[in-house]
Amino acid sequence: MSTARTGRRVAVVALMAAGALTLAACGGGSGFEDDTEPAGGNGDTGAEGGGDTGEALTVLIGSSGDAETQAVQAAAAAWTAETGTDVEVVAATDLAQELSQGFAAGDPPDLFYLGSDTFASYAANGSLLPYVDQLENADDFYPVLLQSFTYEDTPYCAPKDFSTLALVINTDAWEEAGLTDDDVPTTWEELASVAETLTTDDRVGLSFGPEWQRVGTFMAQAGGGLTNAEGTEATANSSENVEALEFVQQMLVDGTAAYPGDVSAGWGGEALGIGAAAMVIEGNWIIGAMTNNYPDVGYRVVELPSGPGGPGTLQFTNCWGVAADGANTGGAIDLVGFLTSGEQQMEFATAFGVMPSVQSVSGEWAEQFPDQAAFLAGADYAQGAPSADGASDVISDFNSQIQGLKDGDPQAILDSVQANLEAILG
């Protein structure tokens, strides 16, 4: 094991321990997370001088389901056919845990999904290779997405795609309840009313995951959020956020909303697919899951309703992280160039519903997926996750408390989150 790699192993272990101590000191009580012929047959992967691509690569992904896993595997196989470099794509059971364990053991994957909420931690301890300037398409990424993966003014890794959350409705349940287009909810009051109408003995009106990554939409709609727009000041226990959690809590108490686990489903897409929920709050990834797993279930996607503070949703993006001590960083960068090309991202969009992270194909995407317009519309007012070092620990702690929101104290929960955020923001 190299000295550099050993040092980074110690740094990662120390970082994890420090995060745990920070949370303990602050008090308080862990998102979710068909074969497609990939484009790009000319061998141009978009990287400048990718270097030696002969060493086999391991790619660790956090997949939304079979559709995403198969699409990434197909793309990797196409790149292998062009370069001769073998690629093993591994779908993690718990991406954050498996990635941290890999680095702690000194044997991280060569290439991996990395969320904006954990990016800063890995960039700060030297685990990541900053490579964006080596990509030919570096100027094509949406600046707001690239900013999520910039540390000390240096862009580290390329955003692989992005998504927002919207309201996904089972059209059969909607029609059976006598609802029409005029009933599509545009306010919280209308959402509560429609959810009540759709709730039966066998089905809940609305379902969403017990986590900030779903409940946070209500905070945004109330005019709140975890931090200010610049991400420099904690605002978790604002009156707007309290109002948002109280609204969610009331729907849970009324029985018109429920977490997927409470209706025998693993996540929102499954709850919609098996008929356990008439509406769910989910992201673009639900498209591939519905197509592959529930092809006979009719649904439509609409924008989330506005709250007291106006429209609001959340925006998610991951980047392709490259391990700084990888044995074949040149090959990993070359593979990133292939995976983030406009052509390949459109293949991913077709396979599992994400929106490309490059601007050059935005018009093509909008033309090809008009029924997903609500997701793209949400990008205009979406909030992202805090990217400060330690943010993932704070959100994990928040999520554990959201699981007990039905019987909990919204103000106390948010006060705890506030203390944790203040600790990492200094």
Domain of residue 324: give its range: 3-162+317-377
Q: Are residues 8 and 136 in the same domain?
A: yes
Q: Are residues 12 and 155 in the same domain?
A: yes
Q: Are residues 205 and 273 in the same domain?
A: yes
Q: Between 399 and 387, whose confidence is greater?
A: 399
User: For the purposes of burial, counting CB atoms within 10 Å of the CB of 59, is it exposed (0-12), middle (13-18) or buried (19 or more)?
Assistant: buried
Q: What is the CATH number of the domain that holds 158?
A: 3.40.190.10
List pLDDT tens digits, range 177-193: 999 999 999 999 999 99
pLDDT at 51 over 50: no
List pLDDT tens digits, range 346-369: 999 999 888 999 999 988 998 999
Residue 367 lies in a domain: yes
pLDDT of residue 14: 36
pLDDT at 11 over 50: no
pLDDT of residue 53: 54
Q: Are residues 311 and 345 in the same domain?
A: no
Q: Are residues 251 and 170 in the same domain?
A: yes
Q: How many other C-beta atoms are found inside a 10 Å radius of the C-beta of residue 23?
A: 21
Q: Are residues 99 and 189 in the same domain?
A: no
pLDDT at 141 over 80: yes
Mean of the per-residue pLDDT values for the chain?
Answer: 87
List pLDDT tens digits, range 223-271: 999 999 878 899 999 999 999 999 999 999 999 999 999 999 999 999 9
- Region 36-63: what's the mean pLDDT? 56
pLDDT at 409 over 80: yes
pLDDT of residue 391: 87
Does residue 92 sit in helix, strand or coil?
Answer: coil
pLDDT at 13 over 80: no
pLDDT of residue 73: 98
User: Residue 75 in contact with residue 291, Cβ under 8 Å?
Assistant: no
pLDDT at 8 over 60: no
Number of H helices, E strands in the chain: 17, 12
Q: Are residues 229 and 356 in the same domain?
A: no
Q: What is the DSSP letter of 115?
A: E
Q: Where are the alpha helices (DSSP H) in 179-285?
A: 188-198, 212-221, 239-254, 268-273
* Lowest pLDDT segment from 65-69, 383-387, 406-410: 383-387
In sequence order, what are the beta bridge partners of 88?
58
How far is the CA of 171 from the CAs of 138, 158, 179, 235, 275, in angstroms?
41, 37, 9, 38, 11
User: Residue 157 in contact with residue 147, Cβ under 8 Å?
Assistant: no
pLDDT of residue 4: 37
Give residue 78's identity as a one-letter amino acid code.
Answer: A
Q: Are residues 134 and 279 in the same domain?
A: no
Q: Are residues 222 and 361 in the same domain?
A: no
Confidence band for 32, pLDDT divided at 50, 70 and 90:
very low
Confidence band for 112, pLDDT divided at 50, 70 and 90:
very high
Residue 260 lies in a domain: yes
Domain count, the chain: 2
Q: Are residues 305 and 335 in the same domain?
A: no
